[in-house]
Structure 1
Amino acid sequence: MDWKAVFEPISLSIQISITASLIVFICSITVAYKMARARFIGKSIVETILLLPLVLPPTVVGLVLLVLLGRRSWIGKAYEAIFNGPLLFTWGAAAVAAVIVAFPLAYRTMKAGFESVDDDLEDSARSIGANEWQVFRFISVPLAKRSLTSAYILGFCRGLGEFGATLMVAGNIPGKTQTIPTAIYVAAEGGNMSMAWTWAGIMILLSFVMLLLSNRITKES
């Protein structure tokens, strides 16, 4: 067995998932906190848009990203001007796909955590002179840390398992954009079941370990 060929998709998937989950965590913690406290007309519509990738087929998400990241879009043009090459079918495109599909899951989990925090505690902190950042940093985040931890790990696992959108915008280029899910698909389609099961077993093990870690952290918190 070619162990280099085995570990390339694993390494790439982990790199993409770590990058995507960090971006998702930063974005979703900000948006979730604001949405958990905000009251405005059209909030349900905004929230529906934020959660839409959670229920859409990954191929639909991939099709939308294909248009948004293409050479004719302003994003694609800006990327090409800066990096002297297209964004589609690159490592970056795979990371963007992972961010988009992982964000709704992390956002929903974090928002539930922030909504569980008693508003009176935050108001009490404000009444003694705490600013919004201090309320967020020292009251809201510590009290919602179980949800925040779960959101990060779930985002990582979701990014790790992304297939449809990644295949459409990043393709399946060995050593460049081939992740574990796309590698499994190609191996199974080509009849190489031993390689497909090797990657599938590694994917199951990684996901199991991450979820076990999440459960242990949230119980000990």
Structure 2
Amino acid sequence: MKKYTFLFILATVLIVSCKSDKKNEKETEVAELTVLEKIANAHGFEKWNNLKELEFTFNVDRDTTHYERSWIWNTKTNNVTAISAMDTLSYNRKSVDSLSMKTDGGFINDKYWLLAPYNLVWDKDNFTYDQTTEAIAPISNAPMQKLTIIYGNEGGYTPGDAYDFYFGDDYVIKEWVFRKGNTPEPSTMTTWEDYMDVDGLKIARMHQNKDGSFKLYFTNIKAVTR
């Protein structure tokens, strides 16, 4: 009788153990992050919800010309203040109208340059993507991984556009290519460099082309946390 009791207990233990192993496997599968999430998190995305307000100045130097505009963005209410040499305009992104649409288009552009790694998570339902583990970055010619995203043909200010992100094993972006309308040839190609930590957000302040004739960079970056 004791022998059968022992065998019953052993079988029960094995069944429970197998179920536990399968449960752990499922939990591991659930915990596995996508490449989109890995890139976003490598740039501090997990700290985003701590942010209440973000200020930054968007600058472009092209040959001998300079252009800049500044933004104050309340990330909780979506109130935006645009400050340029010509004017100051405040609006809410939940109620963009004909008067604020052009300004909002500028904000989306500048914010995308600043926070593109986060848009990989925010916009994931609006684009398709493909990852290549072995690629050559176009500016440095260094071996890197490559992520290509292609936005859908409807919605947004620039539908159908494509971006190629180049990054290392740490998932931090080093270079990217913008292809308007998903054309084979690059529309813009720049570095991602001069990273700084802004309350946990990892932000690239400098983007420039291969010969340095075009520089897009950020100054006066300030974050207000809750």
Indicate whether the TM-score tops 0.5: no
Larger relative strand fraction: 2
Q: TM-score, normalised by structure 1?
A: 0.25
TM-score scaled to structure 2, two decimals?
Answer: 0.24
Structure with the larger RCO, 1 or 2 (CA within 8 Å, 6+ apart)? 1
Larger fraction in helix? 1
**Bigger-Rg structure (1/2):** 2
